[in-house]
Amino acid sequence: MVTVIAHRGARSLAPENTLASARRAHNLGADLWETDVAVTADHKLVLMHDDAMMRTTNVAEVFPERVPAAFSTYTLAEIRSLDAGSWFERDDPFGQVAVGAVENQELVAYVGEKVPMLREAFELTLKLNWFLNLELKAQPEPNHNFDVVSAVLELADEVGIGPDHLLFSSARFDWLKTLKQCRPEFKVQAILGLFPEDPMDFSDSFFDTFNPRHTRLSIDQFKMQVDQGHKLNPYTVNDEAMIKTLIEIGVTGLITDFPQRVPK
């Protein structure tokens, strides 16, 4: 049975990388949720995808003189002062508000949603007895050299979340290898095709699980890698026909914005 991985939570139905989006994905029956770790100016860990926060928060209204500065130039208190939910009804990024897939009471509840701290993401995952795929992302300046791996592992130990509830993915293979070498109990997954110039290379025997961008491979190429014994979790697969085809050829999991579309 294919593993359903909710990309940044159920972001087709709730504002991405928020606790509301994670809860929505859990309610839909996703096997785990995927999210991105970000480091603030005061070296606190939060959830954020875009370097500039304008798409998914009201930072342009609260700090108009500072945009489009990266999240790494804002303190935790400043980021927590932002509204990370109101934009969802206005922008309707996947057209699900327009078709009535999101109830009005949910939209009202999204108003004022905060950018979560990673601690809160860990705690929610444990509370739900669920599973989190945490993407370790390269950080913008001035935190480009910040030791993300050590900070995340320290927080995981403090909260008490372990390999039964947490795995790591990244396009920074050196980070994954460092993490695995010091904490072999954790599973790690290599992200392929994050940028157009990145090679789709499955040859590194350190990894048995790869998360490839699904548009960079043909179905025949996917099947070849599956036949060679690689575990594949392609991203971000939203088309129902493609979901069906990839399941048929035997991928391990699907990273999707629409966990509700993946048959269980």
**Tens digits of residue pLDDT in 68-127:** 999 999 999 999 999 999 999 999 999 999 999 999 999 999 999 999 999 999 999 999
**Tens digits of residue pLDDT in 187-198:** 999 999 999 999
Are the CB atoms for 159 and 126 separated by under 8 Å?
A: yes
Q: How confident is the model at residue 264 (pLDDT cuts 50, 70, 90)?
A: confident
Which option is the CATH number for 3-50+116-261: 3.20.20.190, 3.40.50.150, 3.40.50.1000, 2.40.50.100? Answer: 3.20.20.190
**Tens digits of residue pLDDT in 17-53:** 999 999 999 999 999 999 999 999 999 999 999 999 9
Q: How confident is the model at residue 221 (pLDDT cuts 50, 70, 90)?
A: very high
Instruction: Tell me the pTM.
Output: 0.97
Q: How confident is the model at residue 229 (pLDDT cuts 50, 70, 90)?
A: very high
CA–CA separation, 116 and 29 (whole Å): 22
CA–CA separation, 92 and 130 (whole Å): 27
Q: How confident is the model at residue 235 (pLDDT cuts 50, 70, 90)?
A: very high
Q: Phi, psi (5° rounding) for residue 173? A: -65, -30
Q: How many other C-beta atoms are found inside a 10 Å radius of the C-beta of residue 66?
A: 12
Q: Find the mean pLDDT for residues 220-241.
A: 97
